Amino acid sequence: MQKTSKALFGLATAFVMSSALPNLAKADELTLCWAAWDPANALVELSKDFTAKTGTQMKFEFVPWTNYADRFLNELNSHGKLCDLIIGDSQWIGGSAENGHYVKLNDFFDKEGIKMDDFVPATVVGYSEWPKNTPNYWALPAMGDVVGWTYRKDWFEKPELQKEFKEKYGHDLAAPKTYDELKQIAEFFQKRQIDGKTVYGASIYTERGSEGITMGVTNVLYDWGFQYENPKKPYDMEGFVNSADAVKGLEFYKSLYDCCTPPGSSNVYMVESADAFKSGQVAMQMNFAFTWPGLYKDEKVGGKKIGFFPNPAEKAHFAQLGGQGISVVSYSDKRDAALQYIKWFAQPDVQAKWWELGGFSCLNSVVNAPGFAKSQPYAQAFLDSMAIVKDFWAEPSYASLLQAMQKRVHNYVVAGNGTAKEALDGLVKDWSDVFKDDGKI
Amino acid sequence: MTISHSSIVEKAADATARATPSSVARRVRGLSDRAIAWLFIAPAITLLLAINIFPLLWAVYLSFTNYRANRPNAPVVGVGFGNYQRVLNDPDIWQAMQTTAHFVFWTIVLQTVIGFTLAYLIDRKFRGHAFWTTIILIPMMLSPAVVGNFWRFLYEPQIGLFAYAVSLVTGIPTSDIQMLGNVTLAPWAIIIVDTWMWTPYVMLICLAGLRSIPDYIYEAAEVDRASPWRQFWSITVPMALPFIMLAVLFRGIENFKMFDMVTLLTGGGPGSITEVASITLKRAAFESWATGRASAFAIILFVAVFGLANIYVKALNKVKQR
């Protein structure tokens, strides 16, 4: 009996030891959560250097964009320990800061000499700060991104089309600098036969389910003078969100949708827009800059056939910010190791390699380096675009604000219900209700 | 009359006790038949309470609070019937309910008519009827995600077969056949897909009903020289009616919850024209994180479906008893 007890005790000890061993090994492992897309693959490659330098293994949890917000906001809200580091969307920063999901990084930055002045200012405001324009940092700018445009350079360079276009509009067929020019080009190409195939003017965002049409519409509205609120009185939206200029901007977006998009464009976002371009359907495409490296490499439409240009201007000149910052999840048991990753990631040489691998660095020393603008065919357009960015609300209630805008603008632009003024008036009402619920007005 | 939950459990325990062979009870010393019965039922009761009853009661509790799942540290304050009042006064929610009712009505009508017709034809037992039955059943065996994506491509104006076929028949250019982007057509696009997928299900139930009608009734009708038309209306339809009503009940409840197909095909658009109640609920609960309000909405939906289903089941029982 005694022997049996000893044997059982020995077995139990061995079991406990064997199950503890992997845990010990995992103490040097960090999990980074992000969306599943090309830049994430570049980050996997880049992070091998971190592992080589520190011995910390990197594990990655990548989720497709369609489930990205659902999956990770659930994880944060439930105080999950899955992610030690998270590259969260720019709009999440307010909620994540106020609800304690992210570790505040000010002391860490001060201690390690990481200066936010070293990063592109707009990315610091967009990805790191909450409240906005205050020195409270919750993330390090990680992936710069912005809505811009690609165009079929090879079509634009066809002599017969150049001639016809100049005769019709009185100026050269070239990357547009204003929205009037953009629409002229889109109309010019709409339903045109090129190489025996019917092509269309432009692919623009119209997606209803998540955030697509809002990203597209704001990209245009900013340039007409749309503002989220009275600069002198926060959350005062009447006459700013629904100003006469904003109404004209929204009308323009609808006119672009009606005149110049391919058939079946009622639910287009990043993937569908890129697909429309890749399949040779459209002359121009609105899309986030992260798609550019992949499109440039595309055998059918990339290389010499593709050109890039920043958002055109109208009364003002802005572009919708995309991209994300990297944060340490406050529920992680490995905060110190996670902070070490951020320290490593912030280094100029790592950031330079990040750009080389296909990530979009936000570090000034990278983007302002001599030769950066010519380092990739899309580098100049990226630089120009990042200089004019503006972001959607980053309020903790951003999701409710986003849903309201998705509904109002889709109703007008795609479904054709009501007028632009009614859509924006309705939006002011919806947003006011959200802020009333939050006790902000 | 309300039957209490505990009395149902006790009745189940008694029934189990009665069904337990006495030899089993004898083998387990010191335990009464009733105790053994409880022992067997306890895991199922515990699971039921944990998985069904507790979340339901918790949702009822949350529906009277301002709780938001994304702000777990914020104080939870009772708001009385505030959430219910807000849900019932929200025009968007009424719009979603109207959209849902539209889907439920038309899908049920189409699926019942087509499903019963198919069942009637299959019941004729023509040559190869087993093969055609299998072919007809394929759509309902597919995953809704596959069906949604499959039909999205079919509806594609430039490359989709649906637009091509309609264009061939009507002469309308394919680029003008925008099923998913057109306010008038988008709801019908979803109704068509749901009908395509679930009519076989209705057909199966109706077929079971038709095959349950004894042949001698038709033989007696033949003797009485009843015409086929008369036989159909006086024998086939009344005797298959309980089965048809059962199919309507199942499809009605299912379609009230329609979510995946709409999300995949239109995302609720264009505008909000195809935004059914389940999508509105999901957005409120898991995108806006208005947990309290979403719980109130869920309870209202639950009560509505439960109430309507109960009335319907009573009608079904009456039909069965005829």
pLDDT of residue B31: 77
Could you tell me how many helices (H) and strands (E) chain B has, helices first? Answer: 16, 0
Confidence of residue A15 (pLDDT cuts 50, 70, 90): very low
Of the candidates B72, B92, B182, the beta carbon closest to that of A77 is on B72
- Whether the pLDDT of residue A20 is over 50: the answer is no
**Does the pLDDT value for residue A267 go beyond 90?**
yes
Q: Two tokens at A194?
A: 């090129």
Comparing C-alpha atoms, which of A161, A163, A186, A168 is closest to residue A176?
A: A186
Angstrom distance (rounded) from CA A50 to CA B284: 41
| DSSP symbols for B97-109 | HHHHHHHHHHHHH
Residue by residue, pLDDT tens for chain B (322 residues) are 444 555 666 777 777 777 766 666 566 667 788 888 899 999 999 999 999 899 999 999 999 999 998 887 788 999 999 999 999 999 999 999 999 999 999 999 999 999 999 999 999 878 888 899 999 999 999 999 999 999 999 999 988 999 999 999 999 988 889 999 999 999 999 999 999 999 999 999 999 999 999 999 999 999 999 999 999 999 999 999 999 999 999 999 999 999 999 999 998 989 999 999 999 999 999 888 899 999 999 999 999 999 999 999 999 888 877 6
* pLDDT tens digits, one per residue of A347-365: 999 999 999 998 999 999 9
pLDDT in the model for residue B24:
61
* Beta strand segments in A313-355, E: 319-320, 324-328
Q: Are A88 and A327 in contact (CB under 8 A)?
A: yes
- The strand pairing partners of A170, in sequence order, are none
Sheet with A282-288, side-by-side order of all strands: A192-194, A197-203, A282-288, A147-152, A306-309
CB pairs under 8 A between A and B: 96
In A, residues 188-207, which contact B (CB 8 Å cutoff)?
A: 207
DSSP string for B210-265:
HHTS-HHHHHHHHHTT--HHHHIIIIIHHHHHHHHHHHHHHHHHHHHT--HHHHHH
Contact B287 A403 (CB under 8 A): yes
Inspect the interface and report whether the beta carbons of B286 and A414 lie closer than 8 Å.
no
Q: How far apart are CA A149 and CA B230, in angstroms?
A: 69
Say whether residue A66 is in contact with chain B using an 8 A CB cutoff.
Answer: no
- Kindly identify which residue of chain A lies nearest to residue B173, measuring between CA atoms: A263
pLDDT of residue B26: 61
Higher-confidence position of B319 and A389: A389
Min Cα separation B73/chain A (Å):
7
* Dihedral sign (CA A331, A334, A336, A340): negative
Which phi and psi (to 5°) does residue A142 adopt? -115, -50
A-chain residues near B270 (CB < 8 A): 208, 266, 410-411, 414-416
Kindly state the helix (H) or strand (E) to which residue A85 belongs, with its residue range.
strand A85-89
Nearest CA in chain B to A98: B71
Q: Do B269 and A266 touch (CB under 8 A)?
A: yes
Predicted local confidence at residue B320, as pLDDT: 76
pLDDT by residue (tens digit) across A99-156? 999 999 999 999 999 999 999 999 999 999 999 999 999 999 999 999 999 999 999 9
> Which pLDDT belongs to residue A375?
92
Dump pLDDT digits (tens) for B85-129: 999 999 999 999 999 999 999 999 999 999 999 999 999 878 888
Question: Confidence band (pLDDT; 50, 70, 90) for A16?
Answer: very low
Phi-psi region of A437 (alpha: psi -120 to 50; beta: other; left: phi over 0): alpha
Residues above pLDDT 90, as percent of chain A: 89
Nearest CA in chain A to B66: A437
A418/B contact by beta carbon, under 8 A: no
User: Which of A182, A203, A188 has the alpha carbon at shortest distance from A158?
Assistant: A188
Contacts of B155 in chain A (CB under 8 A): 264
**Which tokens in the block code for residue B273?**
């024209």
Q: Is the pLDDT of residue A3 over 80?
A: no
> By the 8 A CB rule, do B171 and B188 touch?
no
- Asked if B288's CB is within 8 angstroms of A403's CB, the reply is yes
* Record: contact B183-A263, CB cut-off 8 A: no
Supply the pLDDT for residue B74: 83
Dist CA A311 CA A326 (whole Å): 26
Over residues A283-308, the pLDDT tens digits come to 999 999 999 999 999 999 999 999 99
* pLDDT confidence of residue B70: 83
Angle at B53 between CA B50 and CA B59, to 5 degrees: 105
Average pLDDT over residues A312-326: 96
A271/B contact by beta carbon, under 8 A: no
N- to C-terminal Cα separation, chain B: 24
> DSSP character for A233?
B
For A92-146, strand residue ranges (E) read: 140-143
Of A188, A214, A212, A215, residue with least CA distance to A202: A188
Alpha carbon distance B150, B111 (integer Å): 20
Residues of B in Cβ contact (< 8 Å) with A410: 269-272
For the beta carbon of residue B307, count every other beta carbon within 10 angstroms: 10
Q: Scan for tokens 């020289």, then name that residue.
A: B225
Q: Any chain B CB within 8 A of the CB of A214?
A: no
* Residue B140: predicted pLDDT: 94
pLDDT at position A18 is: 45
| Domains and their CATH numbers in chain B | 81-321 (1.10.3720.10)
What mean pLDDT value characterizes chain A?
92
Say yes or no for a CB contact (<8 Å) between A73 and B175. Answer: no
Read off the tokens for A314.
């109208």
Tokens describing residue A334: 């490995």
Q: How far is B183 from chain A (nearest CA, A)?
A: 6
